[in-house]
């Protein structure tokens, strides 16, 4: 049983946190990871900065731009996390866009993920059909989960197909907008969560986009295995860096 499977078996109300590698400073990646684990975070989505992050709101876009200015790259990221399993036991997935992965070389990228202990990938712009045709076998042989996304516009038939091809969790995008903190979950979103839950899916699900505080986190947890916090945390480290006490305070305010 891998780390992701064990997490979803053993825990509920899972708190997953996204932050951008190499932000706010180039060498903050591992210190922030460690501070998140020490604070009780269940899962981390480590963002790979990209110059054209289409699905990201202004906070994460700005963090990506800063990380790139800092000199962040895929190669640098793997160097930073090559020994993370000496100190980090929680699941870690990489999230970003397919172009940098393709340029690095998909086979080499997957092999490197396995080598350093990455548990999964979230590549929102990798078409599902292309993944199945070209890369699914590669992912599965390496034991790397490809975490697929659904949105309110995804049909029931498509959601069931994604569920049948998922081996980590399904990322439930809460709305059709870009990432960004919101103060409350709207009724239309709850109707969408209920529709997904009524499909009898086998895969665990985490809700992301717009989760920023205890209220939105708890509401999301009522409809899924947990939730993902991104922009609110990126804003925090933008102000305070890898300061452990501030990160712990933030996680406790959510959970």
Residues with catalytic roles: 45, 56
107 phi/psi in degrees, rounded to 5: -60, -45
In a 3-state reduction of DSSP, which class is residue 115?
helix
Q: Is residue 49 within 8 Å of 20, Cβ to Cβ?
A: yes
Report the alpha-carbon distance of residue 150 to residue 128 in Å, rounded.
Answer: 11
Per-position b or e across 108-146, b if 16+ CB within 10 A of its CB: ebbebbeebbbbbbbbbebeeeebeeebeebbeebebbb
Q: Tell which residue, 116, 135, 139, 138, has the closest CA to residue 127.
A: 135
């Amino acid at each position: 049983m891998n780390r992701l499977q064990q997490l979803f078996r053993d825990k509920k109300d899972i708190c997953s946190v996204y932050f951008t590698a190499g932000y706010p400073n180039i060498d903050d990646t591992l210190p922030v990871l460690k501070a998140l684990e020490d604070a009780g975070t269940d899962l981390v989505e480590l963002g790979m900065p990209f110059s054209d992050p289409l699905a990201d709101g202004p906070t994460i876009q700005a963090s990506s731009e800063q990380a790139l200015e800092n000199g962040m790259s895929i190669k640098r990221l793997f160097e930073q996390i090559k020994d993370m399993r000496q100190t980090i036991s929680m699941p870690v997935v990489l999230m970003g866009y397919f172009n940098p992965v393709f340029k690095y070389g998909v086979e080499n990228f997957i092999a490197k993920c396995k080598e350093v202990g990455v548990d999964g990938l979230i590549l929102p712009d990798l078409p599902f059909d292309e993944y199945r045709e070209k890369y699914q076998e590669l992912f599965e042989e390496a034991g790397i989960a490809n975490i697929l996304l659904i949105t309110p516009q995804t049909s029931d038939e498509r959601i069931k197909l994604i569920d049948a091809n998922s081996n980590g969790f399904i990322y439930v995008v809460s709305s059709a907008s870009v990432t960004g903190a919101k103060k409350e979950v709207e009724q239309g979103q709850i109707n969408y969560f209920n529709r997904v839950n009524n499909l009898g899916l086998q895969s665990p699900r985490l809700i992301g986009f717009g989760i920023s505080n205890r209220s939105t986190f708890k509401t999301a947890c009522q409809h899924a295995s947990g939730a993902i916090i991104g922009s609110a945390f990126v804003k925090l480290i933008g102000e305070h860096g890898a300061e452990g006490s501030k990160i712990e305070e933030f996680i406790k305010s959510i959970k």
